[in-house]
Amino acid sequence: MQTVQGVAVARTCAEFSAWCRSFRAGGRTLGLVPTMGALHQGHATLMRMAAQHADGVAVSIFVNPKQFGPAEDFGRYPRQFEGDCALCAAAGVAVVFAPAVEELYPAGFQTRVEVEQLQARWEGQSRPGHFAGVATVGIKLLNLALADVAVFGEKDWQQLAIVARMARDLGHPTRILGAPIARDPDGLAQSSRNAYLSADERSRARAISAGLRAVARAAADGQRATAPLVAQLRAHIEAAGGRIDYATIVDAATLEHLDCLDRPARALVAAWFGAPKLLDNWALGPSDSADAGNMR
């Protein structure tokens, strides 16, 4: 394997799988953090969480074409491999897996993994085929690493729920963990997409987290009907000039819309401020577990 910016890099499935087997052979535990690169400090929090649950951390960097729709520009997704490796090295990552597209999807590849109900609404409705791409690459990475834990960010709550359900349904031994959302001091959820915001758009985009906090306060004060909470959230975002794709309150595990906060719930929102669509969410109702493997 080569070394880039101080971290070992595997380029082939065979190389990565062999490294993971060798690492675990001595009884050591392994954590996996799947990413698409363009790493930032939010990703570093995922790596640190993985390190808290395992003796070593592997990070995959793969811009997955199967989760891009026909109207989404796969070629324009930011790629900064040297910088990504430097961040991984600083976070103490043991190995980076950075395969070419044809390595994960060789000629003749036909398999598609779907988690039917969880992918049908919200982000899945806006981006048909997206979560099938996420699940397909997800199971490939889980199978290659056979890690003890895999860490995904809670910012993409629907993705986390889908990966957890897939792992549970398929009996995969890797435990799926959700890492709390990393936020900048102004409250904006950290995301690779934030780089596309102008200063004005970024300032206005703070309305997303402000609206979510307001909804959480209202829920904590006893508001149980979700319709007023969703209306409050939408008003915050629209007043700042945001264009909403969806804003809803759902069962944290099933992602079904809730009319009443009588179980662990999430307020989900996706909205455009300028070109990038920003995703965020907030826990509501009775506390839900950070271990996504507990999702039913």
Rounded to whole angstroms, how far apart are CA atoms 248 and 230? 6
Tell me the mean pLDDT in the region 256-273. Answer: 98
Co-location of 175 and 263 in the same domain: no
Co-location of 127 and 46 in the same domain: yes
Q: pLDDT band at residue 103, thresholds of 50, 70 and 90? A: very high
Tell me the mean pLDDT in the region 171-196. Answer: 95
Tell me the mean pLDDT in the region 92-111. Answer: 98
Tell me the mean pLDDT in the region 60-83. Answer: 88
Tell me the mean pLDDT in the region 18-27. Answer: 96
Domain range for 209: 192-288
Rounded to whole angstroms, how far apart are CA atoms 225 and 200? 34
Q: pLDDT band at residue 288, thresholds of 50, 70 and 90? A: low
Q: Regarding predicted confidence, which is higher, 291 or 133? A: 133
Co-location of 171 and 58 in the same domain: yes
**Range of lowest pLDDT (73-77, 140-144, 202-206):** 73-77
Query: Above 80 in pLDDT, residue 183?
Result: yes
Domain boundary among 123, 157, 179: 179
Q: Residue 259 has what pLDDT?
A: 98
Q: Which tokens is 86 given?
A: 């430097």
Residue 296 lies in a domain: no
Q: Which tokens is 14 given?
A: 């065979």
Ramachandran category for residue 241: left, alpha or beta (phi over 0 → left; psi -120 to 50 → alpha): left
Co-location of 105 and 225 in the same domain: no
Co-location of 39 and 106 in the same domain: yes
Query: Above 80 in pLDDT, residue 135?
Result: yes
Co-location of 153 and 251 in the same domain: no
Query: Above 80 in pLDDT, residue 108?
Result: yes
Tell me the mean pLDDT in the region 6-22. Answer: 98
Residue 294 lies in a domain: no
| The one catalytic residue among 43, 130, 172, 236 | 43
Domain boundary among 147, 179, 211: 179
pTM: 0.93
Tell me the mean pLDDT in the region 110-136. Answer: 96
**What is the side-by-side order of every strand in the sheet holding 243-251?**
243-251, 265-272, 277-284
Tell me the mean pLDDT in the region 58-85. Answer: 89
Whether 43 is catalytic: yes
CA distances from 67 to 32, 129, 135 (A): 20, 7, 9
Nearest Cα to Cα of residue 170 among 125, 239, 111: 111
Confirm if 7 and 96 have CB atoms less than 8 A apart.
yes
Q: Residue 170 has what pLDDT?
A: 98
Residue 293 lies in a domain: no
Co-location of 224 and 283 in the same domain: yes
Q: pLDDT band at residue 287, thresholds of 50, 70 and 90? A: low
Residue partners of 284: CB distance under 8 A and separation at least 6: 215, 216, 219, 229, 249, 261, 265, 266, 267
Q: Residue 245 has what pLDDT?
A: 98
Q: Residue 290 has what pLDDT?
A: 47
**What is the side-by-side order of every strand in the sheet holding 56-61?**
2-4, 7-10, 95-97, 56-61, 30-35, 149-153, 175-179
Residue 46 lies in a domain: yes
Ramachandran category for residue 128: left, alpha or beta (phi over 0 → left; psi -120 to 50 → alpha): beta
